Structure 1
Amino acid sequence: MPNPIPLVILIAYIAFCIGIGIYARRGGNKSSREYLTGGGNVGVWVNGFAIFAAFATGGTMLGNIGLSYAGGWGYITAYNGGVALGYLIATFFLAKVLRNMRISTVPEFLRVRFHNKVLNTIVPIVLIGVLVAYLVAQMKVGGMLGEQLFGFDYGWSVIAIGAVYIFYTFFGGMKAVTLTDFVQGLLMISVVVICGGIAFAAHSGPASLYDLATTLRPLWSGAETYPLVSYIGAFIIWGTVNAVLPHTIMRIFAAKSERAGRGSLAVGLGLYIVTSIVTTVFIVGAVIILQGGDDLSSFDNTFLVFLAQQTPAWVAGLAYAGIFAAVMSSVSAMLLGLGGAFAYDLVGQFRPNMKDSSLRKLTSWSVLGFGVLTVALSLNPPELLTILYTAAVGLLASTLFFPTLLGIWWKRMNTLGALLGAIVGGASYLILLWGVEMPTLSQITVSLPLSLVACLIGVWVGRPPSEAELERVVIAHQREYVDTPAPARQGR
């Protein structure tokens, strides 16, 4: 008889998410900013766990573990090292200024800092494409899990997961996403700590576990699976994109202060580091020992093999629920970012005088629309989805990283520099990805420097920014910016 514990835990968790959506709806979210930021009053620990949950996806709980087993922990360590660098860049170079500017999205910063319609149209479009690919990838993981763990039909699994996360994101906005992600983060880190403890106890501690695993599978501890430039590319991609990913950066805007925003990023980073080390090193090492060093029929099932062979039923049930939680925490945050990119940033660019009440409705209905679209795409996902997803992430980094970072820290950074940096970085990445034969993930090592060079050329050729254009960012380096909203945004 199948173990009923995972299903019971999952049903209870789904009911909780629905309840949170209803609670958040009743609690406010009347303005567009409140809908996207949760009111900007979230504490350090709640926000920190939510940041961790939003980034620790279903891919983290399954795909990264499988990559470690298949290709050695060197590549996944480069990946995770890049993630950590991205958190540090966001914490020390972005959080204070972005939070003090009183904005709601990353494209809004570029709109405030650089007054250029072409740039402010390109950026939301790039974000929409990236986040759709990101969402479809996560929904595919959720559908496959429902199929493998519970015997559900893939399509119905996708629809069920989609219905839940669309519901609470649509109704509750960032407030609902943050509260559910906080609980999801607690569940995920609990699973990681418990499973790590079981692995250590079964093999007399982490040192002996690692030594035995590397003896049985020497390739696992090497770094020869991919060319060196691929490891460098993985590190650069995640070190830069994690500093501009909407579902990470939007958490800064949800924090009660810039100090709380930086603190929550630090909490999220710490939790992610613990998770990465325990899962991609020690749990993988335990499975290598269980398999005698042999390959698995499916490397993505590495964590499932560990749960089936080395954990009691209640731990496996908790872990299965944690994997589903990882999927839903990521897709809900990304879906909110999608709604904001379309309504708040793209449509808002062309209709700046839209009443805030109308903008709030458009944002929530955009969340619903993109939710339905991504569920539909996930029912029949495209081939080579991982490649498309990686391409999307690299495209986002190449397009946004230097215009954002230099726009915050360099007063001479001008509109032409930001526009050229975004266009050259994004276009060169796509050309190299689809038109030039290069090692996996290495395109970023060319496109990102080209984006920087384009930014510098634009600064040299274009006119310097005026004091009025710099005013808001200059103030934000010192204190919170206070603005009197235009009458059109007061819901007249």
Structure 2
Amino acid sequence: MSRLTSSRRLAVAMAALILLPTLALAAGPDLGEVQKQATNFTAIGMFAAFVVFTLFITKWAAAKTKSAADFYTAGGGITGFQNGLAIAGDYMSAASFLGISAAVMASGFDGLIYSIGFLVGWPILTFLMAERLRNLGQFTFADVAAFRFAQTPVRVFAASSTLVVVAFYLIAQMVGAGQLIKLLFGLEYWVAVVIVGGLMMIYVLFGGMTATTWVQIIKACLLLGGATFMAVMVMMQYGFSLERFFAAAVEVKAQIAAQTPGTTPEDAAAAGQSIMGPGKFITDPISAISFGMALMFGTAGLPHILMRFFTVPDAKEARKSVMWATTWIGYFYLLTFIIGFGAITFVLTSPGFLDETGALVGGSNMAAIHLAKAVGGNLFLGFISAVAFATILAVVAGLTLAGASAVSHDIYATVIKKNKAGSAAELKVSRYTVLALGVLAVALGIVFEKQNIAFMVSLAFAIAASANFPVLFLSVLWKGCTTRGVVIGGFIGLVVSVVLTVLSPSVWEATLGYDKGSAPFPYTSPALFSMTAGFVGIWLFSTLDRSLRGRQDRAGFVAQQVRSETGIGAAAASAH
């Protein structure tokens, strides 16, 4: 009891250290050149109220988090409907809400590739993975990947790929959060990122999966309600006519293009019409295929999404989770498209949302936030800002939990301690890992400040599609798969995807600052090449494996298939 009390005191102290300087800075008169608009105290008040509310959830969850199972998977006690909302909350991240709407505002129709790509990955999870994951696993996707293979090498690979995917995904969330709080409070960007990192560590350290799940559920409901209101208010201005709505967006884009010196009326009209067709964001077929593959197959390889299937009691609830998640996510992505085009017609036509150069105040990712103010005033801006922050915080917490479980469960408990580590020791390692990931997330968030956050997430999807998905898919469905094939092929997919990502224009030129056109890898997404390399590597090295270990791996497929299809033995393993 005293340990729990001291944990609560520490949580309160950390919250005070984070929030008090924030409020002081927000109220201060000298905010430097970063502040582009008056401090919005209504929005700040709603934002602070949400933070306090979620801290109470964390305090409640801390009392229920007594074991590693509670910390990682909320003890497996979440229902399918609750988990579906939580998965939707996890998936409707800063990239979805802020990034997709910003991409649609900038590129029009092309921005829809994010919505479609993110959504079509769900049937793969529904029909191929969800039930098998719940029947085979306990805490992490490595439990599934290593079911019939040698534990140590497979878990080392799984932990490595999980940490890389988590790192790239964290970047996007931290950038979105930093820009949001910078806009809301008028703080320096790096200060805003540090605040978010600190709050995230509080939620995960003390609340674990229980707190994360309930923050995600509440956030999903609020985000769906807020996005619906925004879409209705936008469409109301055009009599709920999509034809009038899109015509207005085309006209605004044409007017903006016409302001460029030397632009003819014909060129301006063509620029306006270009937002209604593909080709403005992805310009060649190979990039389009590669990008689509990353978004579609990456969904089935995201460790923080896969981890959610272990929070439900059985396979039936896992299937129900995916059904509800798909429903909410599909509806939400329809709304983001309206919000993106609404930002064209409402935000780009108002000087109050643009700086002296004509760029959006707060950065390009803030399109949805400005639209909220345009349709609902300061009160709704405060609501959407708080919800967007909740969105980021919940996703970051889920990602951090996935990274912490990879280190503590897969590396420490299974590889180092050979399944002899106590629950308390595993929990301690998890919390140290959370602190390390929090610091890493803050550092990377500062470095990648200028990137579109939806695009940064697509890079995480490309890595997940190249490393995790081939391993999961073949280990569960292919009898010939072996330890050697999984480890070598998995690492090939991981390394190739990371190297090509760094050599692509999105990192080589946009982040590292090299000259335009100098990127060694010319395509925006590596998935077409790296995912192929992962699958071929697993197939080749498994086929060539004639070792005793390889024969044992193949012989274990029947037992794995029975367990994955029927769930026999799953309950006993979960209890253990």
Structure 1 counterpart of 2:442: 375
**Identity %, equivalent residues:** 21
Structure 1: 5+ residue stretches without partners: none
Q: Deviations over 1:230-257 (max 9, x none)?
A: 2222211011111121121111111232
Structure 2 counterpart of 1:354: 421
Shift of residue 388, structure 1, vs aligned partner? 6.6
Shift of residue 405, structure 1, vs aligned partner? 0.9
Structure 1 counterpart of 2:334: 277
Q: How does 1:390-469 map to 2 (within 5 A)?
A: 390-434=458-502, 437-462=520-545, 463-464=550-551, 465-468=553-556
Structure 1 counterpart of 2:509: none
Shift of residue 433, structure 1, vs aligned partner? 3.9
Q: Which amino acid aligns with 1:351?
A: K
Q: Which amino acid aligns with 2:382?
A: G
CA contact (8 A) 2:480 2:543 kept: no
Distance across 2 between alignment mates of 1:80 and 1:304:
19
| SS at 1:88 equivalent | helix
Shift of residue 198, structure 1, vs aligned partner? 0.3
Does residue 1:197 correspond to 2:232, yes or no? yes
Structure 1 counterpart of 2:58: 21
| SS at 1:256 equivalent | coil
Does residue 1:44 correspond to 2:80, yes or no? yes
Shift of residue 167, structure 1, vs aligned partner? 1.2
Structure 1 counterpart of 2:310: 253
Structure 1 counterpart of 2:278: 223
Q: How does 1:224-243 map to 2 (within 5 A)?
A: 224-225=279-280, 226=282, 227-243=284-300
Distance across 2 between alignment mates of 1:385 and 1:398:
22
Distance across 1 between alignment mates of 2:298 and 2:177:
24
Does residue 1:104 correspond to 2:139, yes or no? yes
Structure 1 counterpart of 2:396: 331
Q: How does 1:462-477 map to 2 (within 5 A)?
A: 462=545, 463-464=550-551, 465-468=553-556, 470-477=558-565
Q: Which amino acid aligns with 1:455?
A: I
Does residue 1:169 correspond to 2:204, yes or no? yes
Q: Deviations over 1:113-161 (max 9, x none)?
A: 3215333212212221221232233122212211112223333322332
Q: Which amino acid aligns with 2:430?
A: T
Structure 2 counterpart of 1:286: 342
Distance across 1 between alignment mates of 2:308 and 2:338:
30
Structure 2 counterpart of 1:149: 184
| SS at 1:412 equivalent | coil
| SS at 1:39 equivalent | helix
Structure 2 counterpart of 1:312: 377
Q: Which amino acid aligns with 2:435?
A: L
Distance 1:448 1:131, change over 3 A: same
Structure 2 counterpart of 1:301: 366
Distance across 2 between alignment mates of 1:484 and 1:61:
40
CA contact (8 A) 2:100 2:340 kept: no
Distance across 2 between alignment mates of 1:84 and 1:293:
32
CA contact (8 A) 1:84 1:273 kept: yes
Structure 2 counterpart of 1:479: 567
Q: How many aligned residue pairs are there? A: 485
Distance across 2 between alignment mates of 1:482 and 1:275:
34
Structure 1 counterpart of 2:92: 56
Distance across 2 between alignment mates of 1:11 and 1:140:
20
Distance across 1 between alignment mates of 2:538 and 2:197:
40
Distance across 2 between alignment mates of 1:344 and 1:382:
32
CA contact (8 A) 1:48 1:267 kept: yes
| SS at 2:524 equivalent | coil
CA contact (8 A) 2:99 2:452 kept: no
Distance 1:356 1:292, change over 3 A: closer
Distance 1:379 1:263, change over 3 A: same
Distance 1:289 1:413, change over 3 A: same
Structure 2 counterpart of 1:31: 67
Q: Deviations over 1:166-187 (max 9, x none)?
A: 1121112111100111111111
Q: Which amino acid aligns with 2:86?
A: A
Q: Deviations over 1:410-429 (max 9, x none)?
A: 22322232223212322333
Distance 1:165 1:480, change over 3 A: farther
| SS at 2:324 equivalent | helix
Q: Deviations over 1:197-223 (max 9, x none)?
A: 101111111423134324553111111
CA contact (8 A) 2:340 2:367 kept: yes
Q: What is the TM-score when the length of structure 1 is the normalising length?
A: 0.90
CA contact (8 A) 1:168 1:177 kept: yes
Q: Which amino acid aligns with 1:98?
A: L
Does residue 1:178 correspond to 2:213, yes or no? yes
Structure 1 counterpart of 2:324: 267
Distance 1:484 1:276, change over 3 A: closer
Q: Which has the higher contact order (CA 8 A, sep 6+)?
A: 1
CA contact (8 A) 1:246 1:337 kept: yes
Moved more, 92-101 or 220-229: 220-229
Distance across 2 between alignment mates of 1:26 and 1:293:
49
Q: Deviations over 1:394-419 (max 9, x none)?
A: 22321111110121122232223222
Larger C-alpha radius of gyration, 1 or 2? 2
Shift of residue 483, structure 1, vs aligned partner? 7.3
Shift of residue 104, structure 1, vs aligned partner? 0.7
CA contact (8 A) 1:418 1:455 kept: yes
